[in-house]
Amino acid sequence: MIEGSPVPHEPPIYRRIADRLRQAILSGELRDGDRLPGENALMSEYGIARATARQALAVLINEGVAVPKRGSGVYVRQFRPIRRHGSRRLAREQWGAGRAIWDSDVSGRPYTVDELLIAREPVAEDVGRVLDCDEVWVRRRRYSVDGRPVQLAASHFPAALVEGTPVTTPDTGAGGVYARLRDLGHAPVHFTEEVRARMPAPEEAARLRLPAGTPVIEVCRTAFAAGGAAVELNKMIMDAASYVLQYDFDA
């Protein structure tokens, strides 16, 4: 344990190189799709070993701002991350006024639902524990922003609750599924989000077109109606390089 007096804190050389390259990306000097300096260029510029040059590039690859292409080098993979506001975006004012929740995420950037599959299914065990039912209606979507798939989402509803309503159809109407749950007398009043991170399953990596080594963030959100009944469980799988999740709360 070291403590107390000032300690100069100099990061290792590969970190400082990564910092400079990152700065070049953030400042716009290097842009999306540009090739980063290769290992040989870094070795001669900084007088470092190949392993050190590789480490510097690995930092940026790990952070998701660069991507290696086999036999060709490392390229900028710039993508302004989507800032997803946990509490603010779900505020009653948001969906209560007929707006889509997603709108608040992309700050004007166009997004598309490019896959939509709606089905009635037997409930999976983990979902059944939360929703307390045997059958569910599931809305599976893939969302893309700027032409890039960023999120897979699967909203589950107790089948008996939403049978025959617009929740089971492609167009759920103004305010979306939460406004429809409100129409049914089951307006969500409370949300719980559980957040994990892990490596993607192969089909998740394929559907999100993830470069190797990119983790996903998994968010399971449960919506509760007054009285405490869970009325929706939404499993979301997000490209970790595309998202910053923000949560605000008071002390």
- Closest CB 71 distance from a second copy, rounded Å: 22
Q: How far is the CB of 1 from a second copy (least distance, A)?
A: 5
Q: Tokens 């660069």 map to which residue?
A: 66
- Bridge-based pairing of strands 188-198 and 216-225 is antiparallel
Among 43, 100, 106, 118, binds a second copy (CB under 8 A): 118
Under 8 Å CB-to-CB from 61, ≥6 apart: which residues?
67, 68, 74, 213
Least distance (Å) from a second copy to the CB of residue 143? 14
Q: Which is nearer to a second copy, 36 or 232 (CB)?
A: 232
Residue 112 binding a second copy, by CB under 8 A? no
SS3 199: coil
Using CB atoms within 10 Å of the CB of residue 181, give its burial: 0 to 12 exposed, 13 to 18 middle, 19+ buried: buried
Closer CB to a second copy, 20 or 31, in the complex:
20
Q: Whole-angstrom Cα distance, residue 19 to residue 168?
A: 49
Query: Which residues fall within 8 angstroms of residue 131, CB to CB, at 6 or more apart?
Result: 123, 156, 157, 158, 230, 233
- Beta-strand relationship, 148-158 and 188-198: unpaired
Q: Which is nearer to a second copy, 40 or 169 (CB)?
A: 169
Q: Is 119 in the site for a second copy (CB under 8 A)?
A: yes
> Which residues from 187-246 bind a second copy, rule CB under 8 A?
187-203, 213, 215-217, 223, 240-241, 243-246
- C-alpha span between 150 and 165 (Å, rounded): 28
The site string for a second copy over 82-111 (x = CB under 8 A, - otherwise) reads: ----xx--xxx--x----------------
Window 120 to 179, contacts with a second copy (CB under 8 A)? 120-121, 138, 168-170, 178
| Site residues (vs a second copy, CB under 8 A) | 1-9, 12, 15, 55, 58-59, 61-64, 81, 86-87, 90-92, 95, 115-121, 138, 168-170, 178, 187-203, 213, 215-217, 223, 240-241, 243-251
